[in-house]
Amino acid sequence: MKMVILVRNDIKIGKGKVAAQVAHAAVSLVLEIINSSNREWKIWLDSWIVEGQPKIVVKVNDLDELYKKVRMAKEKGLPVSVIEDAGKTQIEPGTITCAGIGPTEDGLIDPITGDLKLL
């Protein structure tokens, strides 16, 4: 079980901002699952918590690659969260900074994100 966070590599933001955006994605995924009626997602969430909440942070080249991975995950019925920045500090309002997928089984997420490099 794991959660994968995809961070855009084509926007220039500081390390602290990246960390905050990754945290937004992780929290958003958990809240989406808690508020969902999808029983399978809830089972995945429970297993992920028991396993120590593994999170993998990877980079995507640009917004197009991020959306391609998001579409693939949605087609497989996986939890997905896309993070749009409010634009109060380093970037323009509405900038998509990252996306989260999961948590889910490795075998479901690896075909989508396994080709991406660690951040």
One pLDDT digit (tens) per residue for the chain, 119 residues = 999 999 999 999 999 999 999 999 999 999 999 999 999 999 999 999 999 999 999 999 999 999 999 999 999 999 999 999 987 788 888 999 999 999 999 999 999 999 999 99
The answer to whether 38 and 102 are in contact (CB under 8 A) is: no
Q: What is d(CA 35, CA 59) in angstroms, rounded to the nearest whole number?
A: 28
20: left (phi over 0), alpha (psi -120 to 50) or beta: alpha
Q: Is the pTM of this model over 0.85?
A: yes
Instruction: Check residue 77 and give its pLDDT.
Output: 98
CATH number for domain 2-98+107-113, candidates 2.120.10.30, 3.40.1490.10, 3.40.50.880, 3.40.1350.10: 3.40.1490.10
91 within 8 A of 18, measured Cβ to Cβ: no
